[in-house]
Structure 1
């Protein structure tokens, strides 16, 4: 009799262990690893849309979220990649961008990189101002631990602001 009880309790505990294992596996499958980078980037895009008037969020493709605004010809938010944690790219319609364009870039960069808007405006304006006869049409500067790259063609100018993954 005692032998039968031990055998039955062994089966019950083995059955419970198997049931717990199956439940744990099911819980991991349902929750699974969440794409934290994409969520963080989407949250940034929503935050930009909510705080900058006239900004619209477009499609997402290849770690880029396309945005649109009347002051910019092209504006994108780059999500975390190999070489940078976040990136803002904006292209102006003219060779010499208007102050409203610089204000848009400063507002977006301040939200993305959590720095003061005035500092971002100063950094973007400095990068745009440096382009010219002496420094050429492709200028890279560092400002507040951010890398700012300004490029100018015959008809338009663009600025890319990014922070490296090691900073």
Structure 2
């Protein structure tokens, strides 16, 4: 009986160390965030996970991705609209998702997204970087679509 107890405790320690690995904890938090997005945003579906990125799908966006934490950023939300001038449904989707991911009030994320897309044009060009409420927001526009990327650095 005394021989089995040390073996069981050693196996329990190895199992606990494997479960507490930092890589799996990050993935679990990112998966939890994606599940929270799916639960709170109507019409959102979760796609595949590739290279620390979870692909999402929603009718208001051509492309939607949730970037998991890395060495430099805590999270990243990337969305692409179908046209150069995104529809209000696109802004609502981006604002809702950013509010959930970064725990910021939705009106603030909506204002930051609209401000960034609104700055695209003749004077500032088709690639704009801005900061709003401790978020790094980057907007880009091509001839057929507009995209927005919202992230927060690890040090903030």
Classify the TM-score, shorter chain.
over 0.9
Which residue number corresponds to residue 124 of structure 2?
135
Secondary structure, aligned partner of 1:158: strand
Which residue number corresponds to residue 22 of structure 1?
7
| Number of residue pairs the alignment of both structures matches | 152
Q: Unaligned 5+ residue runs, structure 1?
A: 1-14
Separation in structure 1 between the aligned mates of residue 73 and residue 6 of structure 2, nearest angstrom: 40
Q: CA deviation at 1:47?
A: 0.5
Separation in structure 1 between the aligned mates of residue 123 and residue 153 of structure 2, nearest angstrom: 27
Which residue number corresponds to residue 160 of structure 1?
149
Write the mapping of 1:4-23 to structure 2, written as runs, cut at 5 A.
Answer: 16=2, 19-23=4-8
| Partner deviation per Cα, 1:103-160 (whole Å, 9 max, x = no partner) | 1000000000000000000000000000111110000000010000000001000000
Which residue number corresponds to residue 67 of structure 1?
56
Write the mapping of 1:72-111 to structure 2, written as runs, cut at 5 A.
Answer: 72-111=61-100
Which residue number corresponds to residue 26 of structure 2?
37
Secondary structure, aligned partner of 1:67: strand
Separation in structure 2 between the aligned mates of residue 21 and residue 85 of structure 1, nearest angstrom: 40
Extract structure 1 runs of 4+ deviating beyond 3 A. 18-21
Q: CA deviation at 1:24?
A: 2.5
Secondary structure, aligned partner of 1:72: coil
Q: CA deviation at 1:93?
A: 0.4
Separation in structure 1 between the aligned mates of residue 124 and residue 50 of structure 2, nearest angstrom: 34
Separation in structure 2 between the aligned mates of residue 26 and residue 151 of structure 1, nearest angstrom: 52
Match of 2:135 among 146, 160, 164: 146
Q: CA RMSD in A?
A: 1.3
TM-score (norm 1): 0.87
| Partner deviation per Cα, 1:41-60 (whole Å, 9 max, x = no partner) | 00000000010010000001
Q: Unaligned 5+ residue runs, structure 2?
A: none
TM-score (norm 2): 0.93
